[in-house]
Amino acid sequence: MKLSHLLLTLLVTLALTACGKDASNTSSTSTSKNHLSMNINGTPWIADHKIWGAFHPAGYNQAIVISGSKGPEDKQEQAFNLNLYYTPGPGTYRIAKGNSDNSVIQLVNLSPDNFLYGSVMGFDVKVTITKASANPTVIEATFEGEMSGNASDTIKITDGKFTYRE
């Protein structure tokens, strides 16, 4: 996978997230709150802002985008992104570094020394999409797997959960 493609994917995802509606509040069309959480090496990680999802956004090849952030909205913000391409809808998908669809998962700023997991560093993740629609946007997913880090370590993701309703 080309580094330039991954960087472009990251920039587009961040731009879409920044331009998206405030997704941290409960939607008027649903009684569920938008949610992104996972256990990282057994420790809970729960997004507290910028929780956002998209199903087949214009300009993408059947993409499902999952994102959210934790912590202060500054250079220490921990941002999570999961982009699945060529994904028609609900199903189970396994993605790993170098996949032909260019699907990617990454977590940034887990700590000052561990600033990148996944993406170009490596990943092997199973994602199960249980609900996906575009109008209104509804995405429900679970995920688990491993992501390699810039400090030559690997984190194990378990109990990953995502719910988004626009």
For the chain, 166 residues long, the average pLDDT of each consecutive 10-residue run is 41 41 38 87 98 95 96 96 97 96 97 96 98 96 98 98 96
pLDDT at position 32: 55
CB 132 within 8 Å of CB 89: yes
Do the beta carbons of residue 139 and residue 164 sit within 8 Å? Answer: yes
State the CB neighbour count (10 A cutoff) for residue 5: 11
Tokens (6 digits) for 155: 């984190």
Strand bridging mode 91-96 / 64-70: unpaired
Q: Which pLDDT belongs to residue 31?
A: 43
Question: Which pLDDT belongs to residue 154?
Answer: 98
What pLDDT was estimated at residue 150? 97
Give every CB contact of residue 75 below 8 A, 6+ residues apart in sequence: 109
Provide the domain limits for residue 102: 3-165
If one counts the domains in the chain, the total is 1
pTM over 0.85: no
